[in-house]
Amino acid sequence: MSAIARALRPAVQRSQGVARSATAAAGRLSTASARTCRPSRTFNGQQLRSLSATARRCNDLDDLTPTPITHFSEIETAMQDSVSKFATDVILPKAREMDEAEKMDPAVVEQLFEQGLMGIEIPEEFGGAGMNFTSAIIGIEELARADPSVSVMVDVHNTLVNTAVLKWGSPELKKKWLPRLATDTVGSFCLSEPVSGSDAFALATKATETADGYTISGGKMWITNSLEANFFIVFANLDPSKGYKGITAFIVEKGTPGFQIAKKEKKLGIKASSTCVITFDDVKIPKENLLGEKGQGYKYAIGLLNEGRIGIAAQMTGLALGSFENAVKYVWNDRKQFGSLVGEFQGMQHQIAQAYTEITAARHLVYNAARKKEAGEDFVRDAAMAKLYASQVAGRVSGLAVEWMGGMGFVREGLAEKYFRDSKIGAIYEGTSNIQLNTIAKLLQKEYTV
């Protein structure tokens, strides 16, 4: 059993009672909901269109006492405490060294598996921790407080790769891969290509059906985890005559003939996270490595990235908090000028207060998007807003944190400059900030067009 699962066991046991009462309450709710389901909202006297991509719950939430969005369940709190301790004790001391080496320490990867952090939502029957999406988000955030590179490894593996197998894997694929993804096999998600970034579905990698499987040819770019991974979800077009409706998802194992890591990128930030170019030269894979249905790849990618960007938003709030805490410890404890701690000056205190307010607002957006996803509500706009705002806050706060620490913030002795460099990626991957703005605006326009 993983360390996290062991630590959480008492909470899980206690929560079984809670779960039973929650079920009973849900029963009461559904009876009530038949009578008093809230009417949908209106604008200018017109009924607003529902934009839900997922089934909307129709419970009368008035029967529940509303709780702050920052309230976690007992299990989620235990997750937060244990990951926070693991990140502080194990990851933080290695963050600078891994950044300088531009390499993830293999011992860290091993410990992530041991801690159960690579199978957060994988059910216990497959060797995972069997926890909820919010727990994954909390784990990603806590890891990013110490090192955003480690955080993105866990994020991509859990929110994109594991989720794809859980949602669309055949029973055989699940049986074969979920136990490995939970315990010893890192996964990668291969969508972007030299010709297709924001316009992801212009991808040129081709798949051809053969008598005993598929052949994949083409190339992928910017692939996170690719040095450490053995399991690759690859999007390729099986029928280019259908345009993006030919895009299909496949599983490719590292070591398959024709599969090659062609180049490792040197980056501005998250340097310990591997980002590589991969080429596929007539890579032959068996029939059973088709993930889900032919031609559904574009839908899977959209769905996964909608969820995944809540994870990136959590990475950014964790980063913002990490850089904030690193700097305020210094200005309120160590550095004196003009006879005072520099954090005593009002000019500094106002900036610190503003920064913390923005971090808190970003975290609320992240948790709310996660809760809406879990509740089966439409969360697409919430996820886009969370990622957009969290990455802006991460950039602003980590930049200010460098300034608050003066020269000590600028040198590579501490972590301030690293958080600042690491923050830039939040506005780029899993949809750039412009793409998030496009999504938010498109959904708003639909809602307010009568």
Ligand X SMILES: Cc1cc2nc3c(=O)[nH]c(=O)nc-3n(C[C@H](O)[C@H](O)[C@H](O)COP(=O)(O)OP(=O)(O)OC[C@H]3O[C@@H](n4cnc5c(N)ncnc54)[C@H](O)[C@@H]3O)c2cc1C
- Tell me which residues touch ligand X (CB under 6 A): 156, 189-192, 197-198, 222-224, 267, 275, 425, 428-430, 432, 434-435, 438
Choose between 177 and 429: whose C-beta lies nearer to ligand X: 429
* Nearest distance from C-beta of residue 426 to ligand X, angstroms: 10
Whole-angstrom Cα distance, residue 252 to residue 450?
47
- Long-range contact set of residues 66-74: C-beta below 8 Å, sequence gap at least 24: 69/364, 69/367, 69/368, 69/371, 70/363, 70/364, 70/367, 72/134, 72/138, 73/15, 73/18, 74/11, 74/14, 74/15, 74/18
- Long-range contact set of residues 26-33: C-beta below 8 Å, sequence gap at least 24: 26/59, 28/63, 29/59, 29/60, 29/63, 29/64, 30/59, 32/59, 32/60, 32/63, 33/58, 33/59, 33/60
Q: Are 379 and 369 in contact (CB under 8 A)?
A: yes
Whole-angstrom Cα distance, residue 49 to residue 57?
16
Please tell me what DSSP assigns to residue 239. Answer: -
> Does 358 participate in catalysis according to the annotation?
no
* Nearest distance from C-beta of residue 109 to ligand X, angstroms: 16
Residue closest to ligand X when measured from CB atoms: 197
Of residues 121, 325, 430, 447, which has the active-site annotation? 430
SS3 370: helix
* Nearest distance from C-beta of residue 67 to ligand X, angstroms: 35
Choose between 270 and 352: whose C-beta lies nearer to ligand X: 270
Choose between 58 and 202: whose C-beta lies nearer to ligand X: 202
Choose between 113 and 235: whose C-beta lies nearer to ligand X: 235
Residue type, 61: L
Choose between 337 and 434: whose C-beta lies nearer to ligand X: 434
* Nearest distance from C-beta of residue 301 to ligand X, angstroms: 9
**β-pair partners for 188:** 232
* Nearest distance from C-beta of residue 38 to ligand X, angstroms: 35
Q: Are 91 and 142 in contact (CB under 8 A)?
A: no
* Nearest distance from C-beta of residue 110 to ligand X, angstroms: 21
Q: Are 119 and 128 in contact (CB under 8 A)?
A: yes
Choose between 59 and 224: whose C-beta lies nearer to ligand X: 224
> What residues are annotated to the active site?
430
